[in-house]
Structure 1
Amino acid sequence: MSRLGLALMGFIVCAPAFALPPPLTEAEQLRSVTSPVTVTREHVSADIYHYQFEFRAGSTPNARIRVHRIVREISPWRPRPTSRAVMLLHGDFANFVTNFVPALGHPASPSPGLAPYLVSRGIDTWGVDRRWTLPTADGDVSDLGGMGIDQALGDTAAALAFARATRAVTDLDPGRIVLGGFSHGAQLTYAYAAADGRHISAIAALDIYYDIAPEDADLRALACANAAAERDALAQDVTDSDNSFFIAAGELARSAPDETSPLFPPYTNRGVLLTLSGMTYLFAPYTPLYHLSAPVLDTEGNVTALRESSEDSVSAWFASATPHQSMREAAEFDEIWCGTAQRPGLANIRVPLFYLGAAGAFGEHGLYSTTRVSSADVTAHVVRRFGPERAAEDFGHGDLLYAADAPTLAWKPLAAWLLRH
């Protein structure tokens, strides 16, 4: 293990029930369902476009719901109708764009993105950003303390209803859609399906656990300790679990990779990026060898390169992180893992479930949660390169989104399942 590694340890819009009118353009339809709403459109690739909708959801500074749609167009502002749709929830230090359409991030990533991939296969792809993604680095975060799971569940319900109402007009399809999520977005997906379930036909969880297996008692103990620390921070009015460290690590690795890191001297900025992403368990041991990106290790256990995702894509992921993140949400997610949260259980979930794991991250540790649902339709797929003895080098958490082989190893089985559900 490297010395750096050792250092790292120290509105709700209802779908129309009346006869549907002829298809309108996206902008015309949006003006008819709610006002005011801000709508933007930008090109992704070929005939694929990104729509962003934003509308108020209260009076606090960040009481806005930001909904995304990635779609193929017949002509400008006119989406190509589909019979399948999914809404994706992002993970930590990210938003919908940086997780699922990273080529549109700042900085732009070379990864083509899961959302355009799904759209190119006939799956209308939506997303919603949690409110902590909205304020800028120096923005007003006075309402950050209220940004917990319940708020996120409400915003998810609103976004799903908005998506269904839009699809009822643009696709003539008001039916339920699949809810999916990556990382803590997948934990939120489980929570939504267990507590509410409106608007959804199935769920897809990308690399997470919700209930921790009995044999993973040490992981539960870690979650309990983290929850206690986060609750203590909240009691001291610390509401922002900011992402400045990730941003700095990504930016420095991109701008001055060979210079000495100000974060962990005497290591280089590139060395910090490689260790943070390739040996993530040193500071976030969600599983014993959990890592964001599969590393190439030398004989002394140092990360010398990344095996699956390019350094360009990983540094862009870090550098494009949202400045702020909710401490309350972090505490509530950890309380679910700890088993102290008073929330509906997985047995309430009866819709079909697809679990996609990464062998070097949550991987097989996420399978226990799939056995706790009441659904008779459960599919699990864990992406792996090696046997258990090489878990430290295997497919990582972020590799599911950014790896060169992600389209073949992860996205193809997900898309095939979505097309059946």
Structure 2
Amino acid sequence: MSRLGLAIAVLVACTSAFAASPTRSEAEQLASAGSPFAVTREHVTADIYHYQFELRAGSTPNARVRIHRVVRELSPWRPRPTSHAVMLLHGDFANFVTNFVSALGHPASPAPGLAPYLASRGIDAWGVDRRWTLPTAEGDISDLGGMGMDQALGDTAAALAFARAARTVTGHAPGRIVLGGFSHGAQLAYAYAAADGRHVSAIAALDIYYDIAPEDADLQALACANAAAEREALAEGITDSSNSFFITAGELARSAPDAPSPLFPSYTNRGALLGTAGLTYLFSPYTPLYHLIAPILDAEGNVTAARESSEDSVSAWFASAPPHQSLREAADFDEIWCGTSQRPGLANIRVPLFYLGAAGGFGDHGLYSAARVSSKDVTTLVVRRFGPERVAEDFGHGDLLYAADAPALAWQPLAEWLLRH
């Protein structure tokens, strides 16, 4: 058996022997329902490899916790020891790979990926997929209705415990690790740190708000309306917030960019992709001019090209989306923004915080949440190209992950902060 395979066998069988191990209930949950885990390994670049662990967590069709690790190796199946580690939580219409190791996605993206970047700088990059990412388009989604924030928080705790124990048995530092997240993954990171946080040394929130500022009352009202509509749909038995729109937009932009779009008949498939990504506020106004990627606009306000991220990386991001997404999780997130959730608040967070925003995404609107934690160690950075008069064209939400200049403008400051925490 390989060194890592032996380490995982020891981890599963003897996890309670380690000070950094999961609690007994977590270990029992992960080891239930037959074979406790499966592991795969694939090359990313240079000496960096991606490991994927899939642990059983029950008997329902998608009762699995899928954990990822991107790390440099000393030799095959032998991770290079590091003193720093982060657990990254993905955003909507994505999973860990498509957000953070997108070169391994289907289709593959030309974007180099945040996780390999961090690994190359001596940071052990982990992640966990939410369960709604697991079923295929025709897969069994009978358990999708239970995939809310409570389940996601439990899986996050299990993944953090697994990562800490795995680092211990493979010669790494046994301490707590940083919990990071992008978009709704960052909202989940806030929620975990506020409610529990026992495995977490710090949090890194990429472009999100948790509490909405009083001056953004219209954004809060929108969240309340969305939460009410989502709860009504759930009561009617609807559980799937399908990602078919994103998948179709991405696939057609790649296969037939100049053909008329079935999504927006007055546009080509390329135009539909650019409009969706560059004028996102027209259907998802999380901020007044919120957009997924920075657009180049003509005199009429139409998107003519992508300013920061390549169209190849944007179309791959869309096309590689998981087919399903949990409506219950969306309702849980919106209730937090609405202010009607009973979950613990940001004042419970006392660990260091790094907020990294995009001027054309959540951007400055996320600073209010960062100011409401109890931590005395708070760092904020909003990546911007222009002044406030050009927010509509500025660095977009997804540009933090896919832009050509993301490594210099966003990833390097994040890595430097992680190496200090």
Same fold (TM over 0.5): yes
Counterpart secondary structure, 2:62: coil
Counterpart secondary structure, 1:292: coil
Q: What is the count of residue pairs matched by the alignment?
A: 398
Partner AA of 1:83 in structure 2: S
Counterpart secondary structure, 1:153: helix
Asked whether 1:28 is paired with 2:6, we answer yes
Corresponding residue for residue 30 of structure 2 = none
Q: Where does 1:239-258 land on structure 2 (aligned, <5 Å)?
A: 239-258=239-258
User: Is this contact kept in 1: 2:83–2:172, CA < 8 A?
Assistant: no
TM superposition shift of 1:59: 1.2
Structure 1 CA distance for aligned equivalents of residues 188 and 105 of structure 2: 23
Partner AA of 1:36 in structure 2: P
Structure 2 CA distance for aligned equivalents of residues 25 and 257 of structure 1: 47
Corresponding residue for residue 272 of structure 1 = 272
Corresponding residue for residue 49 of structure 1 = 49
TM superposition shift of 1:73: 0.4
Corresponding residue for residue 88 of structure 2 = 88
Q: CA-to-partner distance for each residue in 1:325-365, whole Å, 9 max, x for gaps?
A: 00000000000000000000000000000000000010000
TM superposition shift of 1:51: 0.2
Partner AA of 2:125 in structure 1: T
Counterpart secondary structure, 1:44: strand
Counterpart secondary structure, 2:94: coil
User: Is this contact kept in 2: 1:133–1:324, CA < 8 A?
Assistant: yes
Q: Where does 1:159-178 land on structure 2 (aligned, <5 Å)?
A: 159-178=159-178
Corresponding residue for residue 308 of structure 2 = 308
Structure 2 CA distance for aligned equivalents of residues 263 and 181 of structure 1: 30
Corresponding residue for residue 319 of structure 2 = 319
Corresponding residue for residue 263 of structure 1 = 263
Q: CA-to-partner distance for each residue in 1:75-113, whole Å, 9 max, x for gaps?
A: 000000000000000000000000000000000000000
Corresponding residue for residue 120 of structure 1 = 120
Q: Where does 1:135-154 land on structure 2 (aligned, <5 Å)?
A: 135-154=135-154
Structure 1 CA distance for aligned equivalents of residues 391 and 172 of structure 2: 46
Structure 2 CA distance for aligned equivalents of residues 198 and 113 of structure 1: 28
Structure 2 CA distance for aligned equivalents of residues 409 and 239 of structure 1: 38
TM superposition shift of 1:39: 0.3
Structure 2 CA distance for aligned equivalents of residues 173 and 409 of structure 1: 29
User: Is this contact kept in 2: 1:385–1:394, CA < 8 A?
Assistant: yes
Structure 1 CA distance for aligned equivalents of residues 397 and 162 of structure 2: 30
Q: CA-to-partner distance for each residue in 1:38-63, whole Å, 9 max, x for gaps?
A: 00000000000000000111111101
Partner AA of 1:147 in structure 2: M
Structure 1 CA distance for aligned equivalents of residues 150 and 59 of structure 2: 17
TM superposition shift of 1:171: 2.7
Structure 2 CA distance for aligned equivalents of residues 56 and 407 of structure 1: 35
User: Is this contact kept in 1: 2:82–2:172, CA < 8 A?
Assistant: no
Counterpart secondary structure, 2:215: helix
Counterpart secondary structure, 1:374: coil
Structure 1 CA distance for aligned equivalents of residues 130 and 60 of structure 2: 14
Structure 2 CA distance for aligned equivalents of residues 374 and 278 of structure 1: 35
Counterpart secondary structure, 1:54: strand
Corresponding residue for residue 6 of structure 1 = none
TM superposition shift of 1:319: 0.1
Structure 1 CA distance for aligned equivalents of residues 70 and 396 of structure 2: 25
User: Is this contact kept in 1: 2:206–2:357, CA < 8 A?
Assistant: yes
Which 5+ residue runs of structure 1 have no aligned equivalent?
1-23
TM superposition shift of 1:263: 1.1
Which 5+ residue runs of structure 2 have no aligned equivalent?
13-34
Task: Provide the identity percentage.
Answer: 83
Corresponding residue for residue 290 of structure 1 = 290
Counterpart secondary structure, 1:312: helix
Q: CA-to-partner distance for each residue in 1:209-251, whole Å, 9 max, x for gaps?
A: 0000000000000000000111111011000001000000000
Q: Where does 1:383-398 land on structure 2 (aligned, <5 Å)?
A: 383-398=383-398
Corresponding residue for residue 233 of structure 1 = 233
Structure 2 CA distance for aligned equivalents of residues 41 and 348 of structure 1: 38
Partner AA of 2:9 in structure 1: R
Structure 2 CA distance for aligned equivalents of residues 204 and 336 of structure 1: 19
Corresponding residue for residue 328 of structure 1 = 328
Q: Where does 1:310-389 land on structure 2 (aligned, <5 Å)?
A: 310-389=310-389
Asked whether 1:409 is paired with 2:387, we answer no
RMSD of aligned residue pairs (Cα, Å):
0.7
Partner AA of 1:32 in structure 2: V
Structure 1 CA distance for aligned equivalents of residues 238 and 55 of structure 2: 28
Corresponding residue for residue 131 of structure 2 = 131
Counterpart secondary structure, 1:94: coil
Counterpart secondary structure, 1:287: coil
Corresponding residue for residue 99 of structure 1 = 99
User: Is this contact kept in 2: 1:384–1:395, CA < 8 A?
Assistant: yes
Counterpart secondary structure, 2:316: helix
User: Is this contact kept in 2: 1:105–1:320, CA < 8 A?
Assistant: yes
Corresponding residue for residue 11 of structure 1 = none
TM-score using structure 1 length: 0.94
TM superposition shift of 1:266: 2.6
User: Is this contact kept in 2: 1:31–1:37, CA < 8 A?
Assistant: no
User: Is this contact kept in 2: 1:399–1:406, CA < 8 A?
Assistant: yes
Partner AA of 1:234 in structure 2: L
Structure 2 CA distance for aligned equivalents of residues 240 and 171 of structure 1: 42
Q: CA-to-partner distance for each residue in 1:266-323, whole Å, 9 max, x for gaps?
A: 3100000000000000000000000000000000100000000000000000000000
